[in-house]
Amino acid sequence: MLLYEMTLSKLHDELTSGRISAMELLDGVLKRIASTDSKLKAYLRLTEEEALKAAKAADARLLAKEGINPLLGIPFAIKDNMCTEGISTTCASKILDGYVPAYSASVAQRLFNFGAVMVGKANMDEFAMGSSTENSAYQITANPWDLSRVPGGSSGGSAAAVAAGQAIFALGSDTGGSIRQPAALCGVVGMKPTYGLVSRYGLIAFASSLDQIGPIAKSVTDAALILNAICGHDPMDSTSLKVGTSDFTQGLEAGVKGLKVGVPKELMGEGIDDGVKAKVEEAIKIFEGLGASVKEASLPHSEYALSAYYLIAPAEASSNLARFDGVRYGHRTKEDVEDMVDMYSKTRAEGFGAEVKRRIMLGTYALSAGYYDAYYGQAQKVRTLIMDDFKKAFSEHDVLISPTTPTSAFKGGEKTKDPLSMYMSDICTIPTNLAGIPAISVPCGLSEGLPVGLQIMGKALDEPTILRAAYAFEKEFNFSERPKL
């Protein structure tokens, strides 16, 4: 087995036993990137120099047996909306052209401290808005399973990189499904933790009340190990939860015997592709075979989730993205301007892509005087109803399962002209963002040669249960296909 194909936990054994060095591992990954990224375009930029330094430092730690931890020496990719000190961070937007952050996001800093080796910044939909990574201002990432198809979005670069062995794991951000949807479409594990479990400090905000950083990995165990590293209270983020650190690998093997699994009927009905539905039904059988009790569940307000989401997220985005105004950093128009307002207008017109502009306008409208109550206010009420739906569902079920996405990976360009059909890609994932609860996507097979993802949702802070369920399924199902690249 090639190094870049191994899981994080396997590589940790290899590194600590001295069979390989961090430098060799990095070399393997960099070679893989060199041979595949011209086709895949998962990375916006590589950070080879910093990676070599980090790998060297990791080897020194391994040799001295100091600061050994599961992430030490492991190459990873980070979505380009997380700030990295001294390394250009653009959110795949022209407006941040040339912007070099003066500080690192808390998650990045934690990974650096653990001695993980960052190999590059992964491509994404501009400002995390999109479900196909076609909205990047710089390049379009391909799906490693079929280069004519999209990797999903907005963490498409991160998911494609992990699926293709261009990184052992990656960090993505999930506002409406942006980790789980691309993970599903690329056949890897992706997890959105409970809102507030992972610090957002240094994550360039799309929609603050929905954004959450999480791992994209090759296995459930890997996801748990990464979550161990990035979770925990951060005094720099006041929405960061004050919960003690825990080891999410503990109890993974406890099995699902007696676990009450609910299947929300609203997420298995209309709009779900037959091939996808068939795979999820097979997964349900596996759970039953493992001793779980599976029952139908209901999230009656989930039909309004998409509408609520497309008011709340753009509203917050319209405000979050105001700071990109050409005054202090990033792009500024080179045209002659008449006054300040003219400078703002031209700068922003040039700097933002169509989807971002669409959402800024939507959000601005939703918040404007006279429309607030009808749109934003109403959406917040729906959000409360959705939270109540989940509360009720979790009083009867331990976890909820559903498809992660309604279809497998679609063709590039197929939905770019029709924003609404693109928005539907996140229909199964959005409710959990509105409710702030954790969810994980694990591969549950192939449909016409393309991966299908199974989503497992849990109560707030009940990551251990969804990880346990995902682990049991992963072990039993044993998804071993790899993209042929």
Q: Which residues bind another protein (CB under 8 A)?
A: 81-83, 89, 91, 96, 99, 101-103, 105, 200-205, 207-209, 235-239, 315-316, 318-319, 322-325, 327-329, 340-341, 344, 364, 367-369, 372, 376
Catalytic, 154? Answer: yes
- Residue of 125, 118, 217, 107 lying closest to 165 (CA atoms): 217
Q: Is 293 exposed, middle or buried, given 0-12, 13-18 or 19+ CB atoms closer than 10 A?
A: middle
Max distance between CA atoms of the chain, in angstroms, equals 71
Taking the complex as a whole, the smallest distance from the CB of residue 368 to another protein amounts, in Å, to 5
Could you tell me the two tokens for 68? 């050994």
Looking at beta carbons only, is 237 or 282 nearer to another protein? 237
Rounded distance, CA 455 to CA 402, Å?
Answer: 5
Looking at beta carbons only, is 149 or 332 nearer to another protein? 332
Taking the complex as a whole, the smallest distance from the CB of residue 385 to another protein amounts, in Å, to 18
Taking the complex as a whole, the smallest distance from the CB of residue 387 to another protein amounts, in Å, to 15
Taking the complex as a whole, the smallest distance from the CB of residue 305 to another protein amounts, in Å, to 18
Looking at beta carbons only, is 37 or 234 nearer to another protein? 234
From 79, 192, 279, 415, the catalytic residue: 79
Cβ(217)–Cβ(8) below 8 Å = yes
Rounded distance, CA 146 to CA 131, Å?
Answer: 17
Cα atoms found within 13 Å of the Cα of residue 190, Cβ hemisphere only: 38
Taking the complex as a whole, the smallest distance from the CB of residue 201 to another protein amounts, in Å, to 5
Looking at beta carbons only, is 89 or 404 nearer to another protein? 89
The residue count of the chain comes to 485
Could you tell me the two tokens for 64? 């001295």
- Give whole-number Cα distances, 325 to 84, 92, 135, 136, 318, in Å: 21, 16, 20, 19, 12
Q: Is 437 exposed, middle or buried, given 0-12, 13-18 or 19+ CB atoms closer than 10 A?
A: buried
Looking at beta carbons only, is 295 or 323 nearer to another protein? 323
Looking at beta carbons only, is 236 or 278 nearer to another protein? 236
From 154, 155, 240, 318, the catalytic residue: 154
At residue 163, what are phi and psi to the nearest 5 degrees? Answer: -60, -35
Residue with tokens 């060095």: 21
The distance of Cα 468 from the centroid of its chain, to the nearest Å, equals 20
Rounded distance, CA 151 to CA 142, Å?
Answer: 6
Question: What SS3 state is found at 143?
Answer: strand
Looking at beta carbons only, is 109 or 405 nearer to another protein? 109
Taking the complex as a whole, the smallest distance from the CB of residue 99 to another protein amounts, in Å, to 7
Looking at beta carbons only, is 81 or 408 nearer to another protein? 81
Residue type, 114: F
Catalytic, 178? Answer: yes
Could you tell me the two tokens for 164? 């293709």
From 158, 178, 302, 447, the catalytic residue: 178
Mind giving me the DSSP string for 173-191? EESSSTTHHHHHHHTSEEE
Taking the complex as a whole, the smallest distance from the CB of residue 389 to another protein amounts, in Å, to 21
Taking the complex as a whole, the smallest distance from the CB of residue 105 to another protein amounts, in Å, to 6
Cβ(288)–Cβ(423) below 8 Å = no
Rounded distance, CA 409 to CA 29, Å?
Answer: 25
Strand pairing class (260-264; 169-174): unpaired
Catalytic, 79? Answer: yes
Which residues carry out catalysis? 79, 154, 178
